[in-house]
Structure formats: structure tokens, C-alpha cells
Structure 1
Amino acid sequence: MSLSRGRKIRIGIESMDRFFSRMRANARKLDRDERPAPGLNLSFEDPADFLEVITPARVRLLQEINQKAVPLFALAAALSRDPSAVRRDVTLLESKHLVKTRRVSNPGHDVQTVVERAAASIELAATV
């Protein structure tokens, strides 16, 4: 599993009107046999919901795995956080398609979970 080169994820706050406008524009492109811009938009209508997912600790986690896959326990150590808390954050971020995990052999120690970004670029945008 490698970092999706060129793929971009945008996380932000967006009204329902803006969301549906963007979806209509994408549908029109598809009707013309054009491809919408690649990537993923994760939109929140309520700024409070955005802030529940994008916490300072999770932003630091995303920064730590910027260009490379990192074993979960090494990630926890680098962040000076409890591994179970990092695992919870990774699980939530994976459910939002922001990170990917895989289990790899760790010679002499069974297997370990490795965490990497789901895209080369993750943009955080908040306009209130």
C-alpha cells in the first residue's frame, strides 16, 4: 500500500447548498464525459463536527506520517502519546478515509500495524 501520489483530500466546512452545487457541477462534467477533479472532499456542515474530527492531536498525527508509513507503536512514541489513544485516533481517521493501515510481519514479534496517509496532500479548510 503506497501513498496515493497526486491524490488530494480536502476536509472542510461546507453548507448543504454549496455541497449540492458542487455535486451538480460534478454531475454536469460526467454528463459531458469529463472527469471531475480526482480526490476526496470530506465536508462538515457544522463547525463543531469538524472540530470533533480534526483535533490538534490528530493534525499532529497526520503531520508525523507525512511522507512515510509508520508503525503504530513508533507513531505513538514519536507523538509521546499512549498507543491505545493513537490507535483510537487512527481508527477514526481511517473511517474518514484520511489514513490507511496494514498489518505487516515484524520478525520475532508477530505482526505490527503500519499507518500511512491516504493521500499525498490533505488540505484543512474552514470558512465560517
Structure 2
Amino acid sequence: MSAGVGDRCPCGRGEPYAECCGPLHQGRRKAPTAEALMRSRYSAFAVGDEDYLLATWHPGTRPAALDLDPEQRWTHLEILSHTGGTPFQTTGTVEFRAHYRRQGQRDVLHENSRFVREDGAWFYVRPA
């Protein structure tokens, strides 16, 4: 799936993709907080942007490649809580539920993710 200019952003903020996560995916802006990075990564899964997912994964835990499942359709994101992760901190966690459908079945990924900020950029590290 790809998001068009007028489409709502998959991250759930209700803004157009082109004004929300699109600029992050295109490298024109960096996520200011751990939660913003989490939302942009969810959107990247939803639109199939493997390059962005790898670029925002911490080099110490990043896989060599990703193989996204084209059968998996991400339907919505719930942010449950977060700790730290502000523009003035270097670590944070975001607990979320990412809902999806695969082969007609609904499912959910529930994770508390750990993030770090290095040289002004937030990176996903691993589940906390």
C-alpha cells in the first residue's frame, strides 16, 4: 500500500500523510520524539517503506534486511503509554498496539519498544 498526497496518515493523528509521516519517510524531517518515531515507523509498515524502517532501526540491533509480508494490512495504531522520549531526552519507551489483517484474520502486535536518540535522531532499538 502506498499513501497518496491527500490520504490520511496511517499513524492515526488524522493529518494528511504528506504533512505528517510523509516528510519523515522522505528524509525531509526527523521525528522530534520517540512517540513520533514510533508512529512514523508504523506508517512505514503500512505503506511498505522498508528503507525507512531500516534507516530508523538502531545499527546495533538492525537486521541486514526486511521482508515485509504483502498480505499483511496494517489497520490502526493505539499508543498506550510512553516514558521519556522527549526532544530533550536520549532514551524513551512507547507501548503500543498495532492492529492488522492477514488473510482475512484480525490480529494485533502489542509491544513496549525502546528508543534512543543519537546525534539528534531517534532510533528504534528493540522491545523493552
Given the two structures, how large is their TM-score scaled by the length of structure 1? 0.30
Structure number with the bigger relative contact order (C-alpha 8 A, sep ≥ 6) is 1
User: Could you tell me the TM-score, scaled by structure 2's length?
Assistant: 0.30
Q: Which structure shows the bigger proportion of residues in strand conformation?
A: 2
Q: Pick the structure with more helix per residue.
A: 1
Computing the radius of gyration over CA atoms, which structure comes out larger, 1 or 2? 1
